[in-house]
Structure 1
Amino acid sequence: MDRAKKEALVAELHETFETASLVVLTHQQGLTVSEVSDLRAKMREQGAGYKVTKNTLAKIALEGTKFEYLKDQFTGPTAVAFSVDPIAAAKVAAEFEKSAKEKFTIVAGGLDEKTLDAAGVKTLAALPSLDELRGKIVGLLQAPAGKVVGTLAAPAGQLARVFGAYGATAE
């Protein structure tokens, strides 16, 4: 790889680290091309990304970013999963780790300025996503409104039934 390509790759990685809320470092060894393609597709579906990187270039790209503290974690066959959503990349990586067994392992991660170990990334993956939380909040907000409408409609319904019964007996 020539110098211009390396500089472009470092700039792209630096931009990725600048915009991401979550970075998950993984080791992959023995994954087939189809398995990596499958992982990338799953990451894209969730709004995340996945890149296999050279450790030296990744360390240079980390300089001046909020994830600079992860430099020491770049050893061995490292790949980076990242997302703006603080849970998406962790969720996909944790699911993939279960299916890939020995070939793919989560090493560490970073959530903004906080370092996460492998267990921390897996704990983060167990949390509901931002969209799931939004759906729950909307459901909670709509439930009381439905109960209020039901409560207000109940006396009118009872009154209508009383008049109906009175009308039926009067006939």
Structure 2
Amino acid sequence: MKKEDKQIIIKQLGEKLNEYAHFYLVDVTGLNAQQTSDLRRKCFKQEIKMVVVKNTLLQKALDAEEVDYSPLYGCLKGTTAVFFCNTANVPAKLLKEESKATGIPALKAAYAEEGIYVGADQIDTLCSIKSKAEVLAEVVALLQSPAKNVVSALQGAGQTLHGVLKTLGERPE
């Protein structure tokens, strides 16, 4: 591969690192063409960009970034695919599902929510990370809950008071 081609690939990887908030390094050794194609389709459906890269070019792209990705360098061995995404837990859930079925692919490392996770044992931790939308939904539900309680209490009290007054009004004196 020519040096110019390598520079173009490094530049493209750098653009992807800036475009997406999170990325996963995945070991895809052992996947045949059909399995790789199926994995790509599943990634596409879940808005994950899957790119198989040369480890040295990826390391050079990571070096060029402002963030210190040096803990990831030890994972850059073998066949590596990078899953780029904007929702931190989606690739982890996909990898967990796929590895149950076939045993591959395996997580090497991940950069999610400005943290670095190294090792396949981190998959459960990454699955439990909540997306921004999930956190916002929980906050809205928590904020709505007290208001709903006040409204229902006022409605219940009004009906009770109305019933008492009606009963008193109908009672013979």
Report the TM-score range of the alignment, normalised by the length of the smaller protein.
0.7 to 0.9
- Residue 123, structure 1, aligned to residue 129, structure 2: no
C-alpha separation in 1, matches of 2:96 and 2:131: 14
Residue 110 of structure 2 aligns with an amino acid whose one-letter code is G
CA contact (8 A) 2:28 2:80 kept: yes
Normalising by the residue count of structure 1, what TM-score does the alignment of the two structures yield? Answer: 0.80
Could you list the per-position Cα deviations for residues 80-122 of structure 1 after superposition, in whole angstroms to 9, with x for gaps in the alignment?
A: 1222333333232222222221x31112223335343222243
Q: RMSD value over aligned CA atoms?
A: 2.6
How far has the Cα of 1:169 moved from its partner?
5.2
Indicate the residue corresponding to 1:149 in structure 2. 151
Indicate the residue corresponding to 1:38 in structure 2. 38
How far has the Cα of 1:10 moved from its partner?
1.6
Specify whether residues 21 and 142 from structure 1 end up closer, same or farther in structure 2 by C-alpha distance, changes over 3 A only.
same
CA contact (8 A) 2:27 2:106 kept: yes
Could you list the per-position Cα deviations for residues 2-60 of structure 1 after superposition, in whole angstroms to 9, with x for gaps in the alignment?
A: 55443322211112223444322111123244433333343344443221111222122
Residue 136 of structure 1 is aligned with which of 135, 138, 152? 138
- Structure 1: gaps (5+ residues): none
Residue 99 of structure 1 aligns with an amino acid whose one-letter code is A
Percent of matched pairs sharing the same residue? 28
C-alpha separation in 1, matches of 2:29 and 2:87: 27
CA contact (8 A) 2:24 2:111 kept: yes
Q: How do residues 1-171 of structure 1 correspond to structure 2 at under 5 angstroms?
A: 2-65=2-65, 66=67, 68-69=69-70, 70-101=72-103, 103-111=104-112, 112=114, 114-166=116-168
- Structure 2: gaps (5+ residues): none
Specify whether residues 4 and 152 from structure 1 end up closer, same or farther in structure 2 by C-alpha distance, changes over 3 A only.
same
C-alpha separation in 2, matches of 1:117 and 1:67: 18
C-alpha separation in 2, matches of 1:39 and 1:138: 35
Could you list the per-position Cα deviations for residues 115-142 of structure 1 after superposition, in whole angstroms to 9, with x for gaps in the alignment?
A: 4322224312133333222222211111
CA contact (8 A) 2:50 2:84 kept: yes
C-alpha separation in 1, matches of 2:117 and 2:161: 63
Specify whether residues 163 and 27 from structure 1 end up closer, same or farther in structure 2 by C-alpha distance, changes over 3 A only.
same
